[in-house]
Amino acid sequence: MQERLQALKEEALSEIQQASSMKEVQDIKVKFLGKKGPITEISKGMGKLSKEERPKMGQLVNEIRTAISDQLEEKIARLEKAAVEERLKEETIDVSLPGRPVKRGNHHPLTRVIEEIEDLFLGMGFSIAEGPEVETDYYNFEALNLPKDHPARDMQDSFYITEETLLRTHTSPMQARTMEKLNGEGPVKIIVPGKVYRRDTDDATHSHQFMQIEGLMVGENVRMSDLKGVLQSFAKKMFGEEREIRLRPSFFPFTEPSVEMDISCFNCGGNGCSVCKGTGWIEILGGGMVHPNVLRMSGFDPEKVTGFAFGMGPERIAMLKYGIDDIRHFYTNDSRFIKQFNSL
């Protein structure tokens, strides 16, 4: 009987070892340890043994049963592990394949520049005023100290619709429109972004339609040094902390004194290069102290308040900032052009 058990054990262990699937393992389990299996048979026949032999044989049966089922468990664990490994192997992907593109558009570069400038001035307490693109002669010229026969009107040949209305040549008309509403009560702090129009033939550097951002600050004690300070913050934010600015005297009918602002060249740092035409400086915008006639016409008392105003061209700023060589790119909207302005 003992030999029989030993033989069974060896047979079982050998079969377990050879088994290669879960099913085989289950079959072995049933075959040896099942209710109708040989070991159960032997257990059943133990009643015929003597009292002395019975516990010894019982122990042996148990030992063999345990040995087989341990082996079975171990085999099952091993097979399961192999199965998992097999699955993982099958599921392996080429991580170098391209990801699924995310469908997203982006701002036009002009909007990008304008919003950046808007945010900068919002942070300095300015709000954003917007006005009509078709203006009256009064707001576009007269209220800005440009009476009908003023020679400076030649500076910006305009598109008239009637004798009294035209496409605005700058966003400055909002100076008067904003101030008029305030009945002489300041402070006024606005910037005015928007489209403007001039009689120019479109080429690489001219466009009959372009953007402008006008700025206006009026209040008690507004000084030209404040203009310089505000523009310095602007220049450093837009073109880098190392930028210096300089103001040069200039002329605009609506400011007195008038200035033009240059920034130190961001390309060469001021040593002279092709971007700054060898001067080390790049002209960015015009401005000045609001002309007393402009204040007076819009209901403010130039004896009590002063103000500064400035105007800049987002196209020019974008062209300088991004190195764009042709102003027409902004208006032809080549998708390869627009798509370049998609990152921070």
Partner 1 sequence: MLVSMNWLQQYVDLDSYSADELADLITKGGIEVETVEQLNKGISGVVIGHVLECQQHPDADKLNICKVEIGEEEPVQIICGAPNIAQGQYVAVAKVGAVLPGNFKIKKAKLRGEASHGMICSLQELGIESKLVSKEYADGIFVFSEDVTPGEDALEYLNLHDEVLELGLTPNRADAMNMIGVAYEVGAVLNRSIELPSPELVRSDEGVEGYVSVRVENEEDNPYYGATVIKDVTIKPSPQWLVNRLVSAGIRPINNVVDITNYVLLEYGQPLHAFDYDRFGSKEVVIRRAIEGEKMVTLDDVERTLSSEHLVITNGSKPVAVAGVMGGADSEVQEDTTTILLEAAYFNSKLVRKASKDLGLRSDSSARFEKGIDRNRVVGASERAAQLIQEIAGGTVLKGIAEQGDRTIEALDVSIEVNRINQVLGTEITETEVAAIFERLQFSYQNFGGTFTVQVPPRRPDITISEDLIEEVGRLYGYDNVPATLPVTESTPGQLSEYQVKRRHVRRTLEGAGLYQTVTYSLTSPSKRHFFSSDSVESVRLAMPMSEERSELRTSLIPHLLEVAQYNRNRQLENIAFYETASVFLPGDELPVEQEHLAGVVSGLWQEHLWQKEKKAADFFVVKGILEELAVEFGVEERLTFARAEEPKLHPGRTAAVYLDDELIGYIGQLHPEVEKELDLSETYVFEINLEKLLQADVAHLKYKKLPRFPSVTRDVALVVSESLEAGEVKRVIKEAGGSKLVEIQLFDVYQGEHLEEGQKSLAFSLRYYNPEQTLTEEEVKKAHDRVLKAVEEQFGAALRQ
Q: Which of residues 122-161 bind partner 1 (CB under 8 A)?
A: 122-128, 130, 132-136, 149, 151-152, 154-155, 159-161
Is the peptide bond between 253 and the residue preceding it cis, with omega within 30 degrees of 0? no
DSSP, res 160: B
Question: Which of 18, 221, 274, 343 touches partner 1 by CB under 8 A?
Answer: 221
Contacts of 67 (CB under 8 A, 6+ apart): 9, 13
Inter-residue contact 142 to 254 (CB < 8 Å): no
Residue number with CB closer to partner 1 (110 or 143): 110
Residue number with CB closer to partner 1 (37 or 313): 313
Tell me: does residue 106 bind partner 1 (CB under 8 A).
Answer: yes
Question: Which of 162, 183, 274, 343 touches partner 1 by CB under 8 A?
Answer: 162
Region from 40-48, 49-57, 83-91, 225-233 binding partner 1, contact rule CB under 8 A: 225-233
Question: Which of 71, 171, 172, 258 touches partner 1 by CB under 8 A?
Answer: 258
CA 86 to chain centroid:
43
Residues 286-325 close enough to bind partner 1 by CB under 8 A: 289, 291-292, 306
Instruction: Answer positive or negative: Cα dihedral of 285, 291, 295, 297.
Output: negative
Decide: helix, strand or coil at residue 299: coil
Tell me: does residue 176 bind partner 1 (CB under 8 A).
Answer: no
Residues 194-213 close enough to bind partner 1 by CB under 8 A: 195, 197, 199, 201, 208-209
Tell me: does residue 333 bind partner 1 (CB under 8 A).
Answer: yes
Residue number with CB closer to partner 1 (118 or 142): 118
Question: Which of 49, 76, 142, 251 touches partner 1 by CB under 8 A?
Answer: 251
Question: Which of 38, 46, 226, 273 touches partner 1 by CB under 8 A?
Answer: 226
Taking the C-alpha atoms of residue 166 and residue 160, their distance in angstroms, rounded to an integer, is 4
Contacts of 81 (CB under 8 A, 6+ apart): none
Contacts of 93 (CB under 8 A, 6+ apart): none
Give the residue carrying structure tokens 């009476």: 147
